[in-house]
Amino acid sequence: MVNQNRTPASQAATDHEPTINKIALEEHFSIGELLPTSAELEFFDPLVLSEIEPLLPELAEQRLANMDKAGIEIAVLSQTAPGIQAIAESTEASAMARHANDALHAAIEQQPRRFRGFAALNLQDVDAACTELKRCVSELGFVGALINGSTQGEYLDNPRVDLLWSTLEQLDVPLYLHPGLPTNQPASMVKELDGATWGWSFDTATHALRLIVKGVFDKHPNAKVILGHMGENLPFYLWRLDSRYATTRYRNDIATTPSAVFRRNFLITTSGVCDDAALQCSITTLGPERIMFSTDYPYEDIELAGRWIDQAPIDPLAKTMICRDTARTLLRLG
Ligand code: ZN
């Protein structure tokens, strides 16, 4: 059978009427100072990039119209990669995180029914980042934080970052672990596979697994991490992960199997993956209650993402959960 979901976005029909009011969680913007440089996104086809770039700072009519095409009622916005994580100097990172979060707050104030925010965090200074996270959640009404990969090569299993996990638990908000710019690519990487094609998923999935095997969730059992891109391929890999982890001489004394931790502490979004087979696999391995709709705007075709989930051949109750209900409960959107 031909999989219609593999139809390129440019060939997709445009007369679709969205059928579910959705909440989407991986929707990017950028303040002018943090717009990705062409060097940072050099793997993009320049023509594709020229269409995306003008959409990043735009937080008004065009974005709302695009959300409407996909039936998205609420978009949770986040500063795009590499963002704060790419800033080498700690004081500058702190000031810029605050600036990006204030700009996002101003946009939310303009559209309080349509926008929410994930905080950008300056983990170059963990104490300052936790203070900023508390400000964003308690004073600005943000619903969590989004981190773009490692911060200057440092991953979130580093004990130095422990206060971040305590603060997330205390505030009871999730951390969205989004790809950033990997600092150490495996020797096998080639340009054709770098970036969003494969390299970012490899780095982000490894980042997530580091959190599990280093025991972050034994210490912080209530921490919640969201992975985009249908879980960065991990839902497909859970059985082998457990099987081979049980045989490595380097395994740590974590309380349960890696897959059990993944199922307990992680949620995933559908961002950038409009594939029925991948969705079915994730529903089977995680349950629909741990999957949430997202689009990865403006890097992906928002209308295609909305039409795909509206037409996905899954149970209607599961679909409502994925499109809206889980996010509403997790982010306490009322
Ligand atoms: Zn993204």
Report the separation in Å between the CA atom of 26 and the middle of ligand 1, taken as the mean of its atom positions: 6
User: Are the C-beta atoms of 132 and 92 separated by less than 8 Å?
Assistant: no
Report the separation in Å between the CA atom of 255 and the middle of ligand 1, taken as the mean of its atom positions: 32
**How much is the pLDDT for 14?**
58
Question: What backbone phi and psi angles, to 5 degrees, belong to 29?
Answer: -140, 175
Task: Please give the positions annotated as active site.
Answer: 296
Report the separation in Å between the CA atom of 149 and the middle of ligand 1, taken as the mean of its atom positions: 11
Mean pLDDT for the stretch of residues 244-271:
94
C-alpha separations of 242 from 30, 106, 185, 225 in Å: 39, 45, 25, 19
| Range from 11-15, 60-64, 259-263, 285-289 carrying the lowest mean pLDDT | 11-15
Distance of alpha carbon 266 from alpha carbon 259, whole angstroms: 10
pTM over 0.85: yes
pLDDT top residue among 42 and 87 = 87
Pairing of strands 291-292, 115-117: unpaired
| Range from 152-166, 176-190, 212-226, 294-308 carrying the lowest mean pLDDT | 176-190
The residue type at 41: L
Report the separation in Å between the CA atom of 179 and the middle of ligand 1, taken as the mean of its atom positions: 7
149: closest CA among 116, 115, 182? 182
pLDDT tens profile 100-110 = 999 999 999 99
pLDDT tens profile 118-143 = 999 999 999 999 999 999 999 999 99
Report the separation in Å between the CA atom of 28 and the middle of ligand 1, taken as the mean of its atom positions: 7
Architecture of domain 19-330: Alpha-Beta Barrel (3.20)
Mean pLDDT for the stretch of residues 217-225:
97
Is the confidence at residue 5, as pLDDT, over 80? no
**How much is the pLDDT for 73?**
98
Is the confidence at residue 117, as pLDDT, over 90? yes
Report the separation in Å between the CA atom of 182 and the middle of ligand 1, taken as the mean of its atom positions: 15
Is the confidence at residue 4, as pLDDT, over 80? no
Q: How many residues does the chain have?
A: 334
Ion ligand 1 residues within 5 Å by Cβ: 26, 296
| Range from 47-51, 146-150, 294-298 carrying the lowest mean pLDDT | 47-51
Q: Name the residue ranges covered by the structural domains of the chain.
A: 19-330
Is the confidence at residue 188, as pLDDT, over 70? yes
Is the confidence at residue 324, as pLDDT, over 50? yes
Report the separation in Å between the CA atom of 280 and the middle of ligand 1, taken as the mean of its atom positions: 22
Distance of alpha carbon 149 from alpha carbon 188, whole angstroms: 20
Report the separation in Å between the CA atom of 312 and the middle of ligand 1, taken as the mean of its atom positions: 22
Distance of alpha carbon 327 from alpha carbon 25, whole angstroms: 8
Mean pLDDT for the stretch of residues 154-176:
98
pLDDT over 90, % of the chain: 84
Is the confidence at residue 2, as pLDDT, over 50? no
Mean pLDDT for the stretch of residues 18-45:
92
Q: What band does 11 get if pLDDT is binned at 50, 70 and 90?
A: very low
Is the confidence at residue 166, as pLDDT, over 90? yes
Mean pLDDT for the stretch of residues 56-60:
97
Report the separation in Å between the CA atom of 33 and the middle of ligand 1, taken as the mean of its atom positions: 18
Report the separation in Å between the CA atom of 253 and the middle of ligand 1, taken as the mean of its atom positions: 33
